[in-house]
């Protein structure tokens, strides 16, 4: 209900056309916006009464990163942002939503995305002396799981 209204308000505030929003299951509205419009979009969402940020999903789609900001108020609203792989930088929304700090720190250490203005950019889950690069990236698989991950792959296919 009100996430639909917010989605429409968002579209006309950011002057996006109809094609950018898409309906995904468990009644979520997904709107694709650009990197620069993030802070403005989050401000309008907060103003319209949606304050709960469920998660920030980060994933790698054919060599550029896609960030998903999942808001929720009885139904979902997701912002999708595409970052190119060479310079994965985006400004952090911690000043607006302090609760996003852990999600951003995790995305930073798992995918290597720079969040400008992150309060304390310290590793959240990985050990301090971690040299295994960014573990969640597709191509750059850590040597540790290259050996065992692949045979799981074969076993998965063969069984």
Partner 1 sequence: MSKITVPIGPQHPLLKEPLSFLVSLEGEKVTDSVLRLGYVHRGIEKLAEQRTYIQNIYLIERICGICSHIHSTTYCQSVEELLKLEVPKRGLYIRMLLCELERIHSHLLWLGVLAKNIGLNTLFMYAWRDREIVLNIMEEISGGRVSHSVNVIGGVQVNLNESHLSLLQQNLQELNKRVKEILRSIENDRSFQARTQKIGHLSLEDIKRYCVVGPVARASGLDIDIRRDAPYAAYDELNFEVPVMTKGDVWARSILRIHETLQAIRLCVQIINNLPDGPVSITAPRRVPAGEVASRAEAPRGEVFYYVRSDGSQNPARLKIRTPTLTTLITLPGQLKNMQLADVSAIIAGVDLCIACGDR
Partner 2 sequence: MNKTKTSKIIKWARQKSPWLLHFNTGGCNGCDIEILSLLTPRYDVERFGILKESSPRHADILICTGPVTQQVKPRLQRIYDQMPEPKWVLAVGSCSCSGGIFSGAHNILGGIDKVLPVDMYIAGCPCRPEAIIDGIVKLLEQIK
- CB of 112: closest distance to partner 1 in angstroms? 14
Q: At what angle do helices 38-47 and 2-13 cross, to 10 degrees?
A: 140
Contacting residue, 95, 130, 138, 140, with partner 2 by CB under 8 A: 130
Asked if residue 108 lies in contact with residue 115, where contact means CB atoms within 8 angstroms, the answer is yes
Residue 72 touching partner 1 (CB under 8 A): yes
Contacting residue, 126, 137, 155, 157, with partner 2 by CB under 8 A: 126
Residue 98 touching partner 2 (CB under 8 A): no
3-state secondary structure of 93: coil
Asked if residue 115 lies in contact with residue 88, where contact means CB atoms within 8 angstroms, the answer is no
Residues that bind partner 2 (CB under 8 A): 126-128, 130, 132, 135, 142, 144-145, 148-149, 152
């Amino acid at each position: 209900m009100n996430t639909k209204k917010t989605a429409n308000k968002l579209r006309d505030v950011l002057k996006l056309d109809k094609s950018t929003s898409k309906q995904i299951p468990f009644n979520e509205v997904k709107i694709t916006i650009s990197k620069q419009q993030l802070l403005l979009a989050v401000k309008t969402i907060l103003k319209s009464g949606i304050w709960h940020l469920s998660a920030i999903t980060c994933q790698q789609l054919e060599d550029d990163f896609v960030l998903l900001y999942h808001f929720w108020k009885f139904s979902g609203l997701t912002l999708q942002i595409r970052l190119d792989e060479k310079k994965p930088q985006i400004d952090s929304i911690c000043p607006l939503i302090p609760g996003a700090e852990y999600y951003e720190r995790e995305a930073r250490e798992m995918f290597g995305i720079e969040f400008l203005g992150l309060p304390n950019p310290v590793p959240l889950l990985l050990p301090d002396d971690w040299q295994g690069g960014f573990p969640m990236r597709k191509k750059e698989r850590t040597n540790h799981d290259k050996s065992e991950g692949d045979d799981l792959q074969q076993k998965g296919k063969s069984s």
